[in-house]
A and B are shown apart, each in its own frame.
Chain A
Amino acid sequence: MVRVFIPADTTACALGADRVAAEVVLQAQDRGLEVEIKRNGSRGAFWLEPLLEVESGEDRYAFGPVRPGDVAGLFEAGLHGSSTHPLFLGKVTDIEWLARQDRQTFGRAGVIDPLSLDDYRHEGGYEGLNRALAMTADEIVGAVTDSGLRGRGGAAFPTGIKWRTVLNTPADQKYVAANADEGDSGTFADRLLMEADPYQLIEGMTICAMAVGATEGYIYLRSEYPKALQVLNQVIATAEDANLLGKNICGSGRDFHIHIRVGAGAYICGEETSMLESLEGKRGLVRFKPPLPAIEGLFGKPTVVNNVLTLAAVTTVLAKGAAYYKDYGSGRSRGTLSVQLAGNIRRGGLIEVPFGASLRELVEEFGGGTASGRPVRAIQVGGPLGAYLPESQWDTPMDYEAFTEVGAMLGHGGVVVFDDSVDMLAQARFAMEFCAVESCGKCTPCRIGSVRGVELIDKIAKNENKSASFELLEELCETLDQGSLCAMGGLTPMPVRSAIRHFPQDFEVSSGSGVER
């Protein structure tokens, strides 16, 4: 019997993994071979998906990217560790792109069956919770604080401080809310984790609940991730059956329940207070802060709001110790960063490395440059509210402070590569347009400023009152920056200003050229 792994991940399936799996079944039948197909998650090497792996003893050998039409050939050339097929990649763990990474959070991704609790436990899962259950709340929060872990959603707020606030706020009810509203373009790490290693999120939330005294948890999942929803529904049910969720978890006398809430296509609901409103069944309008969600959060109760990757990282901190985790990283950015290489990139996917690698190293060495083969011109880091970086900034180390210093931000770790055909005026216009579409509407600079921003950039494109329009656009950016309630309006100027500052030639349109943007 041959055991074959084919990911059921969104990207792998978008590239035909289901059809590859069906073809493997057919070809095996035709040949009278017994083949067991396991649907794992993806390892995040999306440039190799669909990545088919064949088990041989302790090892797994990889083929990729496999199209349905390749499957017959794979059988003919041999589905084993000494295949002569052109798609044969050797031992999967020896693929350099994967081997060069340092996976703490994504170590199980693509290795295990995401739905199998046994697989998860076999690969170190629930060691963190086991330790946490033997610790006091104060000790758990202390470990998270000592690890130096900061929020992975983008704001990089120290997780331990947030947890401490919730722990120290007396209340009859507290909540843990996992922010799985991963809306930034160029990011897919939360999705990958939820599809490939979902118990890690469940375990992280449970540790958090034990630390702060919460009994109810919510996962706010965006509606654009239907596969993740299916997986999470299944693993929550399995965890409940195994007494890892529900009443009296593992005999600890502590209760914790997790509910999933699906968003409804609003980018702003990734902002934590907007997310809380949405969880309460309301319009996703951003709240004023204070009060902080840690003091008055969901339904007015103390609430930890953490990104999926933050909660996942907590399992490593608890299982291996704060010192172990803190040992990775650079400056005040401790641990590992999950970089997502996206856009026009030859070898795109998820790269987990300690903070501090340079953008150039990631894009050139891991990414292999553009998919189009043309020179890289601009790199947008940190989602639609992040800056466009020109080549002079590509040596910036990937850490929170270093990026802030150059007027950019790391955000959730999305890296979107553009080749030299990019029109930076169009990108600046899109930043304003996106803000206009997705603004919650609560504050004027964001709601109306973004519309005016689009109009001004259109004027600049048509060469109308150019210097006055530029001046007004800068004033508008200042107003958005200073006058908005949340990061949506506050950061929309970042991509706009960076495009103007670093790529001024794209805003030089000759009079009456009538360029259609």
Chain B
Amino acid sequence: MCSSSGAPVAVVSAAVRKYADIPGGLLPLLHEIQAGLGYVPKDSVAVIAEGMGLSRAEVHGVISFYHDFRNKPGGQKTIHVCRAEACQAVGSRQLEAHVKTRLGVDYGETTADGRYALEAVYCLGNCACGPSIRIADDVFARVDADRFDELLGDT
């Protein structure tokens, strides 16, 4: 863990204490760590495993299975671009090309200035008013290239 700050250790151990006795508590535990730190540090795996009575392989397996969890820091904000069919029907393929060019990154990467992590998402439940993107917890509807640039300016 980041020995320089000490905060990650506290976040991880607090989460482990909170969920150790909750049935099926590993997912909420990982969500809590990621909400606190922005990612699940690789060296927290052993701590989580011990606290939850699991093997390190099991914990690593869960972290790597789910698209939401990351094991290194992302951006200050995550931008999710919907790649699913309803958005494709209204131009999301063009939008995603624009977003990648504009940010200079591909899915799974973070912009050089550390502001944005770009992720693909398959449906945000806004399918009647696509193309849809999500910036942090806000969903935006009918996003084209111009609207995306405008949103970047706003955030």
**Which A residues are closer than 8 A to B by beta carbons?**
10-11, 13-15, 46-47, 49, 182-188, 191, 223-226, 261-267, 278-284, 299, 340-345, 348-349, 371-372, 380, 384, 414, 416-419, 422, 426-427, 430, 434, 437-438, 440
Contact = CB atoms under 8 A, between A and B. Distances in A.
Contact of A14 (B85, B89, B93, B140): B140
B67 A416 contact: no
Interface stretch (B9-17, B98-106, B117-125): B117-125
Contacts of B31: 223, 262, 264
A188 B65 contact: no
Nearest to A267: B122
B25 A343 contact: no
Given A186-B86, A225-B125, A417-B89, A11 B141 contact: yes
B62 interface: yes
Closest 5 A/B residue pairs (Cβ): A348-B128, A185-B84, A281-B26, A264-B66, A343-B89
Interface string B119-155: 0011111111110101001111110000000000000
B141 A261 contact: no
20 contacts: A14-B129, A14-B132, A15-B141, A185-B122, A188-B126, A224-B80, A224-B134, A262-B28, A264-B27, A264-B68, A278-B27, A281-B27, A281-B52, A283-B65, A343-B88, A343-B89, A343-B90, A344-B90, A384-B122, A414-B86
Contact of A187 (B125, B140, B142): B125
Contacts of B66: 263-266, 284
Given A224-B124, A224-B125, A264-B66, A343 B137 contact: no
Given A14-B129, A46-B129, A434-B122, A186 B85 contact: yes
B6 interface: no
Nearest to B122: A267
Contacts of B130: 342-343
B128 A46 contact: yes
- Give the interface size bracket for B toward A: 35 or more
A11 B28 CA distance: 26
Contacts of A265: 66-68, 121
Contacts of B61: 283
A414 to B, nearest CB: 7
B26 to A, nearest CB: 3
Contact of B128 (A11, A225, A380, A419): A11
B153 to A, nearest CB: 16
Nearest to A434: B122
A167 B142 CA distance: 47
A211 to B, nearest CB: 23
Contacts of A282: 24, 26, 58, 62
